[in-house]
Amino acid sequence: MVAPTRAPLRTDRLRAVNAPQQVTVDLQESGLMTVGWPDGRTVGRVEAILESWRIDDEWWRRPIARAYLEVMLEGGKRLVLFQDLITGEWFSQMP
Amino acid sequence: MTVSQAIGLCPTLRLLEPDPVHYDEQFAKLLSALTEVSPVVEQAELGLAYVGTDGLEGIYGSAEKIVETIKGTLECWNVGMSEASSFRLGWGVGKFIAWVAASRAKRSEAIVVPIGEEQKFLASQPIAVLPLDHDIHRRLRQLGIRTLGALAALPEEAIAAQFGSVGRRLWLLAAGRITERVVGRISPEPIVAALMFFTPIGERELLIHSLDQLIVRALRHPRRIGWRVHALRLRADIEDGGSWLATILLKDPTADGARIAAPLKTRLEQSPPTGAVERLVLEFTAFAPGTSELQLFARDAQAAARAGQQRALQTAAREIRMRIKRSSLYHIIEVQPWSRLPERRYALIDYEP
């Protein structure tokens, strides 16, 4: 007998690269801003905000609204954070 | 009738988007099921297939029993369908008689034209069963010819004089003088490249960009080496369940990405998908051997080098899998490099060399 005429279609599985990682941001009244991981570990204290921008997208399906901050932590490490303006949660992400 | 005319006539009309990919998949399953009965299955067009039954008598018995077996196969195929569909079966000597018999059969039934009774069967059939264009059909009706028997009763030369070589062929078909055998075709294993979008995309430029990526990936496939692409399909799964399909037969088989892309891009320009696309799938379905001249070009020399790299990668990947018991090799591919959201721009895809 002849083999099936068509090979089954392989659906390529995609995994997102650079997915946002949830962080916590603690802003004190004194203006001191501290970034940490959800498990309580501290990432670092923010020394300066270098840049800020906002992304609004996909208003026609599930709206996305993010306020991005590029910050410099104590010690000179740079980090990009954004706050999801719909849920209020903070994330870290490579720009 | 246009859609607006149809809605005008029937305001409660429910419009259903066509789903060519679904039709194609179901037909492929049907062909696959038929190959369980006979190794010689010819795909004529969507929904029409011929099954060669020569030599099957020793397995199944008479023509009626062969038809019953095929009917049983089709009923099993039908059970797996989400919505019951119907089929018609015809058995006869040659494809034309079998087709006419099938077209006369009732839903899910069969008509068997016994050997020797072909002319009697054909004589009463309307001329509409012939593969003729509207003009010839009109002229035949104006001449009072309404059945194949009436056509076959005329002299062959008279028909040929009126309608040329097409007319001669029609006369031969009507008289049952042509017996076209079923030709089983070797279906090459297609090369498939697919891209799934995190968010459905509707912009044509983005679809064309994705298409270019898919063509590059498919051309790099090791099975393509030494072969030029002859036929290809581009399929799109549309948001909300529809689908879109473009089938292209290249006049001149080629391994050049730009020449492969050109007709697909034209199709995307002229009749784009009706909604946002969730997944885009490119299939190279038929190939032509690369010419000897082609081997001299750098492109195929590069392809040969890639084949060597591919073998080395396969060996390395196999070793990794044996050591850590799972595959952890990925490609990084562009998904939506234009996206404003960083996580949408690139993705990891399982790497299976």
- In A, minimum Cα distance to B345 occurs at A17
Please give the pLDDT value at position B162: 87
pLDDT (tens digit per residue) in B66-89:
999 998 888 887 765 655 567 899
Please give the pLDDT value at position A6: 41
Mark yes or no for CB contact A14/B335 under 8 Å.
yes
Residue B303 above 60 pLDDT? no
- In A, minimum Cα distance to B186 occurs at A5
Please give the pLDDT value at position B223: 75
The minimum CA-CA distance between A4 and chain B, rounded to whole Å, is 5
Which of A15, A18, A14, A16 is closest to A95 using CA atoms?
A18
- DSSP helix/strand/coil, B203: coil
Q: Which residues pair with B254 in a beta bridge?
A: B229
Residue B177 above 70 pLDDT? yes
Mark yes or no for CB contact B192/A4 under 8 Å.
no
Percent of chain B surpassing pLDDT 70: 88
Cα–Cα dist B42/B183, whole Å:
6
Chain B positions in Cβ-Cβ contact with residue A15 (cut-off 8 Å):
330, 347-349
Q: Does B178 touch chain A (CB under 8 A)?
A: no
Residue B297 above 80 pLDDT? no
Mark yes or no for CB contact B39/A2 under 8 Å.
yes
The minimum CA-CA distance between B319 and chain A, rounded to whole Å, is 22
Q: Which residues pair with A70 in a beta bridge?
A: A51, A80
How buried is residue B74: exposed, middle or buried, by Cβ count under 10 Å (0-12/13-18/19+)?
Answer: buried
- In B, minimum Cα distance to A93 occurs at B342
Cα–Cα dist B329/B349, whole Å:
8
- DSSP helix/strand/coil, B104: helix
Which helix (H) or strand (E) element contains residue B45? strand B41-45
| Mean pLDDT of the residues in chain B | 83
Nearest to A13 among B41, B198, B350 (CB): B350
Is the model more confident about B203 or about B297? Answer: B203
pLDDT (tens digit per residue) in B135-170:
888 888 888 999 999 999 999 998 888 888 888 999
Residue B6 above 90 pLDDT? no
Q: Does B39 touch chain A (CB under 8 A)?
A: yes
**The token pair that represents B340 in the structure block:** 């404003």
Asked whether this complex has an ipTM greater than 0.85, the answer is: no
Mark yes or no for CB contact A6/B345 under 8 Å.
no
Chain B positions in Cβ-Cβ contact with residue A14 (cut-off 8 Å):
196, 198, 333, 335, 347-349
Chain B positions in Cβ-Cβ contact with residue A81 (cut-off 8 Å):
none
Residue B269 above 60 pLDDT? yes
Walk along chain A (95 residues) in steps of 10 and give the mean pLDDT of each run. Answer: 40 74 90 91 91 89 91 90 94 83
Mark yes or no for CB contact B347/A10 under 8 Å.
no
Give the contacts of B168 (CB within 8 A, at least 6 positions apart).
Answer: B156, B159, B160
Q: Specify the length of chain B in residues.
A: 353
Determine the residue among A1, A5, A70 to mutate to test chain B binding: the one whose Cβ has the most chain B Cβ atoms within 10 Å.
A5
Residue B306 above 80 pLDDT? no
Q: Does B49 touch chain A (CB under 8 A)?
A: no
Please give the pLDDT value at position B185: 65
A38-73 burial, b at 16+ Cβ within 10 Å, e below that, comes to: eeeeebbebeeeeeeeebebeeeeeebbbebbbbeb
Please give the pLDDT value at position B27: 79
Please give the pLDDT value at position A66: 94
Please give the pLDDT value at position B99: 93
Band of pLDDT at residue B293, cut at 50, 70 and 90: very low
Q: What is the model's pTM? A: 0.48
Cα–Cα dist B192/B61, whole Å:
40
Chain B positions in Cβ-Cβ contact with residue A2 (cut-off 8 Å):
35, 39, 41, 184
Q: Does B347 touch chain A (CB under 8 A)?
A: yes
What letter does residue B222 receive in the DSSP assignment? G
Range of A41-55, B25-39, B309-323, B327-341 with top mean pLDDT: A41-55
Is the model more confident about A91 or about B250? Answer: A91
- In B, minimum Cα distance to A68 occurs at B341
Please give the pLDDT value at position A53: 92
B303-331 burial, b at 16+ Cβ within 10 Å, e below that, comes to: beeeeeeeeeeeeebeeeeeeeeeeeeee
Mean pLDDT of B274-281: 90
pLDDT (tens digit per residue) in B34-65:
888 888 888 888 889 999 998 888 888 888 99
What letter does residue A40 receive in the DSSP assignment? S
Taking only Cα atoms into account, the Rg of chain B, rounded to an integer number of angstroms, comes to 26
Chain B positions in Cβ-Cβ contact with residue A9 (cut-off 8 Å):
192, 194, 281
Chain A positions in Cβ-Cβ contact with residue B332 (cut-off 8 Å):
17
The minimum CA-CA distance between B41 and chain A, rounded to whole Å, is 9
The minimum CA-CA distance between B171 and chain A, rounded to whole Å, is 35
Please give the pLDDT value at position A75: 87
The minimum CA-CA distance between B296 and chain A, rounded to whole Å, is 32
Chain B positions in Cβ-Cβ contact with residue A16 (cut-off 8 Å):
198, 343-344, 347-348
Q: How many CA atoms lie within 13 A of B256 on its CB side?
A: 11
Please name the residue ranges forming H helices in A12-78.
none
Question: Looking at chain B from residue 283 to 342, which residues have their Cβ under 8 Å from any Cβ of chain A?
Answer: 330, 332-333, 335, 340-342
